[in-house]
Amino acid sequence: MKVFVLDTNKRRLEPLHPAEARLLLREQKAAVFRKYPFTIILKEASQEQPEPLRLKIDPGSRTTGMVLLKDPGEIVFAMELAHRGQRIKKQLDSRRACRRFRRARKTRYRKPRFENRTRSKGWLPPSLKSRVYNIETWIKRLQALCNIQAISMELVKFDSQLMQDPEISGVQYQQGQLAGYEVREYLLEKWARTCAYCGKTDVPLEIEHIVPRSRGGSSRVSNLTLACNRCNQLKNNQPVELFLHNKPELLTRILRKARAPLRDAAAVNATRWYLYNRIRQYGYPVEVGSGGLTKFNRCSRNLPKTHWLDAACVGPSTPSTLFQCHNQVLQVQAMGHGSRQMCRPDKYGFPRTGSKPSTKKVRGFQTGDIVKAVVLSGRKIGYYKGRVAVRATGSFNIKTESETIQGIGWKYCSLQHAADGYSYNY
C-alpha cells in the first residue's frame, strides 16, 4: 500500500512508495498528516500533476472492499471496511423491547402515536443506511487524499426466487459462461468454504442436496450445502438423518444452518440502488458490474477470495494483470461515535452508573482515540498501542490487537489518531 502525499497547501500529489515517504520524513522535508490511512504533508508547495486513479468498490452486507487502481493495473491502496449494521439492529431491538415494556406497565395512559408516523420515499432502516454512509464517508476521505477520476462498483442483485429455486422458468439471463455463479458464491459464503460433513477446507467442493432429489428434495438454497467429493459419494442418496445418525450434534447444526434466512442478500438488494445514486452525485463516471463478472475476473487471474481482491476485479475495466508494490491492506471497523444513553443499567434494569458525563474528553483524550502508552514501572510495565476507553478518574483502558489492558494512567498516553468513528488495523 502506497503513502498518500499532500503539499503544504493540501494539494493532492502522486502517492509514494513507503521507502520514499520514510526518506522524506527522515530528512524533515515532510511531516505525518494522518495515521490512518497513512498520509504525509510536504513542507513546500508543488506543481506536480498526479495520475488519475480509479476507485473500485465491492459493497457487502457485513464487509465492503475498496481499492484504488492505477494503470496498467497497480493497486495503490486497499482496504476492507467492516460495517456495524448487525450491532445497530441489535440495539434497535433492545430499545423496542424497553418501549413495549413501558407501554405494558400500569402507568398513566399514553395515546399511541405510531399511526402518525410516515416514511419518506426511498426510506431505508438505520442498519442498512449506516452501510451506505460508511462507504460514502470513505469515498470523501479518499477523494481528499488522491486524484480519483472514476468509480467502479458491483451492482449485484441476488435473485431471491432463483436462489430458492434454481429451476424457475424464464431465467435466460443466467445462461451462458457465467451461469450459476451467483448461487455458488452464496453457498460458499454461507458454509464458509468448508465441507459441511467433515469440515475439510482448501479442497474442491461440490453442491450437495441435504434431502436427496430422489427422495423428494428440492433445489432450494435451504436444501443445498457444500461437500467434498468423498463425503458426497459416501452420502449418495441416503437421508441426512441416516448418514449422520452417529453425529447428532453435527446433524442439528447443519439442519439449523440450512434454514438460515437470506438476510445478507436482502441487505445488498435493498441498498444497491440507493448507494449507486449517492455515488453518482459526486460527478464521476460510474462503471457497474455483476457479481458473476467479479468472480469470473478473479478466478481467471488466479486470485484468492478476499473482499479487497473482489473489489479490484469489479467491472469490465479490470486489467489483465494486477500487482501491488507493498502487500498491505488496511482493516477498518465501523464503531460509531458513542451513545446518547444517559445511564447504564444492570441486567435487572437498575442503574449501575451515574448520570452521563458533561464532556466526552478526559485529560485531552476521549473514547475511541488511538493512543500509545509507554509504562516504565509498576505492574503494567510495557508498551501498548490501541483504542482507548477513558474514565473520569484518569485511569484508562487500552484495547490492543490481542487483549484489553485496564488501569493505564493518562500521563503515560500519547495521542496517535483522534477518534473518528472507526478503528484500524493492518
Pair (328, 397) in one structural domain: no
CATH of the domain at 299: 3.30.420.10
pLDDT digits 0-9 by tens, 265-290: 778 888 889 999 999 999 999 999 98
What is the distance between the alpha carbons of residues 197 and 247, in angstroms, rounded to a whole number?
10
Instruction: Give the model confidence (pLDDT) of 376-401 as tens digits.
Output: 988 889 999 999 999 888 999 999 98
pLDDT > 70 in the chain, percent: 89
Question: What pLDDT is stored for residue 108 in this prediction?
Answer: 67
Domain's final residue, options 226, 258, 290: 258
Domain that holds residue 232: 160-169+177-258
Q: Where are the alpha helices (DSSP H) in 225-319?
A: 229-235, 240-243, 248-258, 263-280, 291-300, 307-312
Number of structural domains the chain divides into: 4
Same domain (yes/no): 141, 182: no
The reported pLDDT for the residue numbered 13 is 95
Cell output for 313: 476485479
Residue 377 within any structural domain of the chain: yes
Name the band, by pLDDT with cuts 50, 70 and 90, for residue 262.
low
Of all residues in the chain, the percent with pLDDT exceeding 90 is 52
Q: Kindly state whether residue 91 falls inside one of the protein's structural domains.
A: no
For residues 302 and 382, state if they share a domain. no
User: For 244, which DSSP code?
Assistant: T
Query: Does 148 share its domain with 164?
Result: no
Q: State the residue for C-alpha cell 495521542.
A: 415
- Choose one of 225, 258, 291: the last residue of a domain: 258
383 and 327 inside one domain:
no
What pLDDT does 174 receive? 47
pTM of full prediction above 0.85 = no
Helix (H, G, I), strand (E, B) or coil at 339: coil
CA angle 292, 293, 295 (to 5 degrees): 65
* In the predicted structure, residue 249 carries a pLDDT above the cut 70: yes
- Per the CB < 8 A criterion, the answer to whether 370 and 386 are in contact is yes
For residue 154, give the amino acid letter: E
Please, which pLDDT band fits residue 173 given cuts at 50, 70 and 90?
very low
- Tell me what the pLDDT averaged over the chain comes to: 86
User: For 302-342, how does the pLDDT look when each residue is reduced to its tens digit (9 = 90+)?
Assistant: 999 999 999 999 999 999 999 987 788 999 999 998 877 77
Give the tens place of pLDDT for each residue, 343-355. 777 777 777 777 6
264 pLDDT exceeds 70? yes
Examine the domain organization and report whether 21 and 76 are in the same domain: no
The pLDDT assigned to 414 comes to 94
Asked if 58 and 148 sit in the same domain, the reply is yes
At residue 64, the 3 state secondary structure works out as strand
**Do 315 and 397 reside in the same domain of the chain?**
no
Q: Domain containing 181 — which CATH number? A: 1.10.30
With CA atoms as reference, report the closest residue to 136 among 200, 66, 43, 42. Answer: 66
My answer on whether 290 and 147 are in the same domain is yes
pLDDT exceeds cutoff 80 at 107: no
250 and 218 both lie in a single domain: yes
110 within domain boundaries: no
Confidence of residue 258 (pLDDT cuts 50, 70, 90): confident
Considering the domain boundaries, does residue 107 fall inside one? no
Q: Tell me, what's the pLDDT at 78?
A: 95
Give the model's pLDDT for residue 167.
55
Least confident of 75-84, 162-171, 186-195, 388-397: 162-171
Give domain status of residue 347, yes or no. no
Q: What is the pLDDT of residue 23?
A: 96
Cell of 331: 482493516
Whether 329 and 379 map to the same domain: the answer is no
For the cut 50, the answer to whether the pLDDT of residue 84 exceeds it is: yes
> What average pLDDT score do residues 103-114 get?
69
Residues 31-51 have pLDDT tens digits of 999 999 999 999 999 988 999
